[in-house]
Structure 1
Amino acid sequence: MNIEERLQNSWEYLTGPGLWITIGEGVLRIVLIIILALIIVRVTRNLVDRLFKRRESGPIRITERRENTLKKLIKNVVAYIVYFIAIIMVLDNVLGFNVGALLAGAGVAGLAIGFGAQNLVRDIISGFFIIFEDQFSVGDYVGVAGIEGTVEEIGLRTTKVLSWTGELHVLPNGNVTQVINYSVHNGLSIVDVNIPYESNVNDAEKAINEIVATLPEKYDFIVGVPEIIGVQNLDVSHFSIRVIADTLPGFQWAGERNIRKELQDKLYKEGIEIPAPRIVMYSGDEKQGILENRERGE
């Protein structure tokens, strides 16, 4: 067969209906597999949402924090599995690859890569224990790896933390070696109120007691009436009275800000001013006169 006949046969094959019918069938199969995969993922996500909505009436009770974490994790794992199966179906049923040989080769290659992917394995194992031990959950305010923020997502390999200034930090789970979780137990607001020495301690505590008694009604995140501990320290121009208050988890900083605001307004109305540093200077004659008056009890 000469070159002209080969070119003619190739042209007939390219322009003939058989090739385009085969290509069309292949494209149609790929589209159907993709659509089926998307439908399965969406249906599975809806089923997961419905399943967790019934947690309150079911025998198994979990916290809302853990619920949000498990929901996102299950949805992601299901999506990975479905998409992987869809890719295998496209390769095997549409493109005609020998998937068995590919998987065997991938297994050998994966074993070789695994020796160099120790960090990846460490991240996955750490992610498993983070979820299993419930170290933190989606929505918790935590401090991890020197970063503080709200947990947006927990995966098997990475954790996403959104800081209060808006930065989204993606941390490998293997780097989460120490966790500070501010959302598990009630917080404690600690406020030191500076009072000038010209004011009486009892009068200041009375004014503080009057205002802190009204705080639980104004702020629902303050649990119980704040407590006055007493005089915390003595400074150059003032003494400090410490006030503590229990708050809902993660609201201890909001509690401190609002307690300061309320106390400042109340103390100002009571005539107790904010102390300022001051220096009193005496001449030699004045100092001697003051000492003599003190000796006479004047």
Structure 2
Amino acid sequence: MSEKLQDLWIYITGPNLWIAIGQSVLKIIVIIILASIVVRVGKNIIDRVFSKKQGPIRISERREETIQKLMKNVLSYVVYFIAFIMVLEALSLPITSLLAGAGVAGLAIGFGAQNLVRDIISGFFIVFEDQFSVGDYVIVAGAEGTVEEIGLRTTKIQSWTGEQNVIPNGNITQVINYSIHNGLAIVDINVPYENDIAAAEAIIEDVVKRLPDKYEEIVNTPVIHGIQALETSHYVIRVIADTLPVYQWFGARVIRKEVKERLYKEGIDIPAPRLVMYSRNEQPTALEIDNNRKERETGNGR
């Protein structure tokens, strides 16, 4: 036993062990530095490829940014995984046995990681089917806001109030994308019955035809669709405007503001609710009695 302890002490204090440890540490440092350099250079190459925008293939800017970020993430995962394998090899660990054991363990874990696999597959379909891209305003899985990032497993959406929603890609089963096509600003304008319909529509038409020149978010001249409803104290005129994507709410606010100011200048106020009350104990006047008598006589004559 004493001889074995003495041999162990000589091996620990001897130069061979520390030279081997130093070589392994140096290899690991070099591997990490090279992996970082490869990732940085690869990301720069990806940025340059997308910045040129040349060739027969043309893709939208929103999808270009999404694919660019996804390629960077995949590059990082692949390079660092290879670096991890090389680090294990530098530590003189049995890579083949570890990979074989990892394959068996991965098969066992795979049955319990079905959601992870589903998220990754869904992420690829989201990108390559162009369901939505970075910068789009969407509603997915109950979250509404702007897409910040689309990863292999999750999608990050920032709501308009500032919260960040992290959603697994497998949970995205339905997408409402407001950034693909132009929006429609639908505005209902209430006008009192005392005002002429044709005159009110003429005033509104004079207002809306100036809006495309004043606001670039409104694409075409808004269209007056006529009387939408007849309410208790007013009628409703509907105006619909074609706007840039995601600007339909802004367009509706602009139309309300401009039309309200013009109607007010033309003497047309916003209609107020009306309530007419009758008293059961109120005595009829002589005029009311005479009118009732004439109505009875007219009815008997018929």
TM-score (norm 1): 0.90
| Structure 1: segments with no counterpart, 5+ residues | none
Q: Secondary structure at the match of 1:222?
A: coil
> Any residues of structure 2 matched to 1:99-118 within 5 Å, and which?
99-118=95-114
Structure 1 residue 181 corresponds to structure 2 residue 177? yes
1:168 to 164, 170, 179: 164
Distance between the aligned counterparts of 1:241 and 1:155, measured in 2? 46
Structure 1 residue 135 corresponds to structure 2 residue 127? no
Amino acid at match of 2:35: A
Amino acid at match of 1:280: V
Deviates more, 1:23-32 or 1:41-50: 23-32
> Any residues of structure 2 matched to 1:191-210 within 5 Å, and which?
191-210=187-206
Distance between the aligned counterparts of 1:273 and 1:32, measured in 2? 78
Counterpart for residue 2 of structure 1: 2
Counterpart for residue 89 of structure 2: 92
Q: Secondary structure at the match of 1:39?
A: helix
Distance between the aligned counterparts of 1:97 and 1:8, measured in 2? 24
1:29 to 27, 30, 45: 27
Q: Deviations over 1:180-226 (max 9, x none)?
A: 11111111110001111222212211221121112112221111111
State the Cα RMSD in Å. 2.5
Offset of residue 53 of structure 1? 1.5
| Structure 2: segments with no counterpart, 5+ residues | 296-302
Q: Deviations over 1:24-47 (max 9, x none)?
A: 333222222111111111111111
1:73 to 70, 73, 77: 70
Q: State the number of aligned residues.
A: 291
Structure with greater Cα Rg: 2
Question: Structure 1's 292 and 146: CA in aligned 2 closer, same or farther, altered over 3 A?
Answer: farther
Counterpart for residue 64 of structure 1: 61
Amino acid at match of 2:62: R
Offset of residue 18 of structure 1? 4.4
Deviates more, 1:174-183 or 1:259-268: 259-268
2:149 to 147, 153, 159: 153
Distance between the aligned counterparts of 1:7 and 1:287, measured in 2? 133
Distance between the aligned counterparts of 1:246 and 1:7, measured in 2? 89
Distance between the aligned counterparts of 1:287 and 1:135, measured in 2? 75
Offset of residue 103 of structure 1? 0.9
